[in-house]
A and B are shown apart, each in its own frame.
Chain A
């Protein structure tokens, strides 16, 4: 678990240092936003893969890293939206409001971020107890909405080639399907 956090954090830190050193191409801010965004989607895939791996293959370790992966997803999303809002748009609230209200891809991305915040906040054992497991679980099903919004956000963003967002969409669909099939089999 510490290895996962260390790995993700050092990749992100490396990108920031590369950007500051002028080694992340001609438009480092754009590249950073892009990389933070894509790493968030990858972490979300990893998070969503934990349960099917456990169910279908009987592995136990994915369940133990699931929380860390979920929190790293939140961290990646924060870096993504933070770089956009603070570094790119320099916290110009008028522009940010305009973007969120007028540009669908930003609207959906923003909602995805808003929905992931309560999931991160209630990720502790304390909150599972406070809410009760059933309520907590129902709350955390919001992640499926986050997945859909995240893919939509990516899909509407690309200029021409939708291959990559569709691939993410297909992987998420497969992970959802695995859950549905498992549930239908009756545990």
Chain B
């Protein structure tokens, strides 16, 4: 059960499907190759199953394929401390967050700073479907079909200056709507950051929907970051500001507990969290555990970003 998911599967709309089918099938064959040989399984062109409307329930993705996590689990089991500490809090309190009007500003070391009305954002850039593994630092994981725009497209549009080295993501601050902010559970706003080259990677997504529907508040509506090769806390939710900066930013969990949560936070089975092993994970909806993959299985696309970096030190 090594790596049946097509790691960088870009599940585009039906009209784009034909032109992409070859690429997708090739990706599937390449990544599933070793498994295919080992298992002697059948054809693994699961990408095709996502060319149609998004499914509502978990569906098989192939003989040995990883299943999508059910919409119910994806929308009811969330870490989003703005709403509270419990996994059930975000779904229970989601309706308190006002989602419109909403703007996302992109500023800092850019030549053309812009502020996007959220509904204009998804029209200004091509919307893409992507199925990604999502690995929480707490050692559970999901498989989620996202819709969104490539972060790179947005960053290209604002033209980063030569001084831009890092990208900072800031979540919304509304203590009157978000009980976890009123209770000061963390320093607010929730801040995350990426190196510019990480932000520009093809995998990095600004998600606005999942399962073919607009994001719900508990999942980070109306727009959130998704960085599939990093632990989930890097994928900041309900973004209001993206800032390009020169220096590595102070990020929330790294500030709160630097020995437990690194700035890079790449999924890495060989670097344990101080309080638990990261070698395996509980896939939500499955019994037992499965091995955690280096870079969450996306090493082919991102390992080169960290050439020469000691990932044990820079965890």
Contacts and interface: CB of A to CB of B under 8 A. Distances in A.
Interface in A76-128: 88-90, 95, 98-99, 102-105
Given A88-B282, A160-B85, A26 B77 contact: yes
A9 B187 CA distance: 42
Interface string B264-288: 0000000010111101101011001
B186 interface: yes
Contact of A103 (B76, B85, B274): B274
Contact of A90 (B72, B277, B288): B288
A27 B85 CA distance: 15
Given A99-B277, A103-B276, A160-B81, A27 B289 contact: no
A26 B186 CA distance: 25
A38 interface: no
A157 B73 CA distance: 24
SS class, residues of chain B in contact with chain A: loop
A88 B272 contact: no
B279 to A, nearest CB: 8
A159 B274 CA distance: 11
Contact of A89 (B274, B275, B289): B289
Contacts of B256: 160
B87 A25 contact: yes
A102 B275 CA distance: 8
A30 B277 contact: no
A46 interface: no
Contacts of A89: 289
A88 B139 CA distance: 11
A90 B289 contact: yes
Interface in A128-142: none
A156 interface: yes
A30 to B, nearest CB: 7
A25 B289 contact: no
Contacts of B99: none
Contact of B275 (A26, A88, A105): A105
Nearest to B87: A25
A149 to B, nearest CB: 16
Given A26-B87, A89-B289, A157 B275 contact: yes
B140 interface: yes
Given A99-B277, A102-B272, A161-B85, A26 B288 contact: no
Interface in B67-116: 72-73, 76-77, 81, 85, 87-88
Contacts of A68: none
A29 interface: yes
Nearest to B288: A90
B185 interface: yes
A30 B73 CA distance: 14
Nearest to A98: B277
Size range of the chain B interface in the assembly: 20 to 34
Nearest to B284: A26
A120 B280 CA distance: 34
B210 to A, nearest CB: 15
Contacts of A99: 276-277
A102 B256 CA distance: 22
A99 B138 CA distance: 15
A26 B138 CA distance: 14
Given A26-B87, A26-B284, A103 B275 contact: yes
A30 B72 CA distance: 18
Nearest to A157: B275
A103 B279 CA distance: 14
A98 B282 CA distance: 18
B71 to A, nearest CB: 11
Contacts of A156: 275
Nearest to B78: A26
Interface of B: 72-73, 76-77, 81, 85, 87-88, 138, 140, 185-186, 256, 272, 274-277, 279-280, 282, 284-285, 288-289
12 contacts: A26-B77, A27-B284, A30-B282, A90-B289, A95-B280, A99-B276, A99-B277, A103-B275, A160-B81, A160-B85, A160-B256, A161-B185
Interface of A: 25-27, 29-30, 88-90, 95, 98-99, 102-105, 156-157, 159-161
5 closest Cβ contacts across the A-B interface?
A26-B77, A26-B73, A26-B284, A161-B85, A103-B275
